[in-house]
Amino acid sequence: MLVFEFKAYKKSAQLSAVDEAIRTAQFVRNSCIRLWMDNQKIGQYDLQKYCAVLAHEFPFASELNSMAFQASAERAWSAISRFYDNCVKTML
């Protein structure tokens, strides 16, 4: 994943749009993690499919870009994988 750092000159409308997008992406990520916690037989691709369900259920989530949905599901799966890796290291 690439991370870019920059200085932005902002307007209040732009700040609120970015803030809303960040909150929605966090909601999607947390929802994916909650789905996995409830059904641990779910895989990475199931989490990405769940993003479409979230877009239908919540109108504010449908405004999020599809790439942001995929990135949020990918981050959720990455967190789950790190959790398992840390558990394995602790056991050894």
> Which residues span the domain enclosing 71?
43-92
DSSP annotation string for 2-24:
----------HHHHHHHHHHHHH
Instruction: Compute mean pLDDT per 10 residues along the chain, 92 residues long, and list them.
Output: 77 88 94 93 92 92 90 94 87 74
Predicted local distance difference test score (pLDDT) of residue 90: 81
Q: Judge whether 54 lies within some domain.
A: yes
Q: Judge whether 74 lies within some domain.
A: yes
Predicted local distance difference test score (pLDDT) of residue 1: 67
Q: Judge whether 37 lies within some domain.
A: no
Q: Judge whether 3 lies within some domain.
A: no
Q: Judge whether 16 lies within some domain.
A: no
Who's near 20: CB < 8 A, 6+ residues apart? 60, 63
Count of domains for the chain: 1
Q: Judge whether 90 lies within some domain.
A: yes
Structure tokens at 42: 């779910």
